Structure 1
Amino acid sequence: MARQGRFRKVLMVMSLLAWPAAASELYRYTNDQGVLVLDRHGVPAQFIGKGYEVLNSQGRVIRVVPPALSAEQYQRLQDEKAQAEADTKLLRLYAGVADVDRARQRKLAELDGLIRIAQGNQQAARNQQNALQAQAAGQERAGRPVPETLLTQIAELEREHQRLHKDIERYQRAQRDAEKTFADDRARIAALLGEG
């Protein structure tokens, strides 16, 4: 109990010693009428966003609080930060324009290979479907009912054909996107490194 009382007294003495130092600070700001104001009590809330200065007892500026950024300034700052991060990432990936060109060629060759494989699989599915349809037609010509398993296989091959068609379209979109991305990356690397 005595310890707590002593601790409180120490805190009170320390706060009293700190009070004159804090009280000796002046705040300089501009009010709504454009008048420069000096105030010992701080800056009113409505003027904080305009920025202010803190002065010591001799009138020297010890701290400057800049004005708050406008929405446009804030957005520009965010855009510049995002561009700097993107540039850093690009410079880690590519040492020059030639690296971008090589990466582009690799990516496009990879997508080209995927398209050729899907087209080959699509053609194989179509050939198999045609053969099964010929069997079904033979069954009908002979006056026999077409087995349900044969119809199921034909329908599955048609779904496979459609799925492969969508895959090919997706790979072709990826090629177009890659072309644009690599062109943008190439232009940015050239600008950053001064290459042509």
Structure 2
Amino acid sequence: MRRSALALALWVCVPAWAQTPGKGAVFCCMDNGHQICGDVLPMQCYGKGYREMSPQGTVRRMVEPPLTPEQFARREAEERARKAEIERQRAEMRRNQSLLETYSSVADIDARRDRAVASVDVDLKQAEARQAQLLKKRESLNREAEFYQKRTMPAALQNALRESDSELSNQGSVIAAKKKEIEAIRKRFELDRVRYIALTTPRGSLPVQP
């Protein structure tokens, strides 16, 4: 009774396609160095790789053994990497399509770059002009402060010097940020320029790099 119950339990665990073999199918696997075959999947083959063959001995299909935890984890990692690569390629295709829809020519890219740089350059020149004004004001404060090298400096002059330091520091940060923004614009448009040329130049016509 116990053997029948065990056999029934194992049979339920077998996939449906193994329980209902094709007409005349023979299942074979290796068990402790011996080949075991049957017209249904032998119990010794459960949890192992096996072959499904025709009565004439032709292999219809090979069924791989269940994966070990390590193999399963490796396969999962490979599948994640494969999907990530597919998504990367799709994203690249979207970027390329967007690039081609954004620009009509290399000259168009250069013109847009120049306009973007010019817009920020206006702010940069204004910031530099303001910095020049602050430097002149600071020179005037420094000359006034020279009279107090050997005596106490008035509180108003001390405050003016501190405010001058703060303003000059802030204005220096603004100028540095604008210069950095211009550099980023040039780099971005240069990348677009290179990609656009690569996408629009026929293969084989690009110059060979030495």
Shared fold (TM-score, shorter chain, > 0.5) = yes
Counterparts in 2 of 1:146-185, with a 5 A limit?
146-185=153-192
Residue 96 in structure 1 maps to residue 105 in structure 2:
yes
- The code of the aligned residue for 2:177 comes to R
- The code of the aligned residue for 2:120 comes to L
Q: For 2:137, which of 91, 109, 128 is the aligned residue? A: 128
1:79 to 1:136, Cα distance in 2 relative to 1, 3 A = same
Q: For 2:89, which of 37, 62, 80 is the aligned residue? A: 80
Residue 37 of structure 1, CA deviation: 6.1
- The code of the aligned residue for 1:165 comes to G
- The code of the aligned residue for 2:156 comes to T
* Mapped partners of 1:34, 1:185: distance in 2: 55
Q: CA offsets per residue over residues 82-133 of structure 1, 9 Å max, x none?
A: 1122123323321221111011111222232222221111111111111122
Q: Secondary structure at the match of 1:70?
A: helix
Counterparts in 2 of 1:5-154, with a 5 A limit?
33=49, 35=51, 36=61, 70-138=79-147, 140=148, 145-154=152-161
- The code of the aligned residue for 1:110 comes to S
Q: Secondary structure at the match of 2:153?
A: coil
1:108 to 1:33, Cα distance in 2 relative to 1, 3 A = same
- The code of the aligned residue for 1:149 comes to A
Kindly indicate whether the alpha-carbon contact (under 8 Å) linking 1:96 and 1:193 is maintained by their aligned counterparts in 2: no
How does the TM-score come out when normalised to structure 1?
Answer: 0.60
Unmatched segments (≥5 aa) in structure 1 = 1-22, 39-43, 47-66
Partner of 2:197: 190
* Mapped partners of 1:45, 1:150: distance in 2: 84
**Larger relative contact order, structure 1 or 2 (CA cutoff 8 Å, min sep 6):** 1
- The code of the aligned residue for 1:179 comes to R
Alignment: residue pair count: 145
Unmatched segments (≥5 aa) in structure 2 = 1-15, 23-46, 52-60, 68-74
- The code of the aligned residue for 1:155 comes to R
Partner of 1:15: none
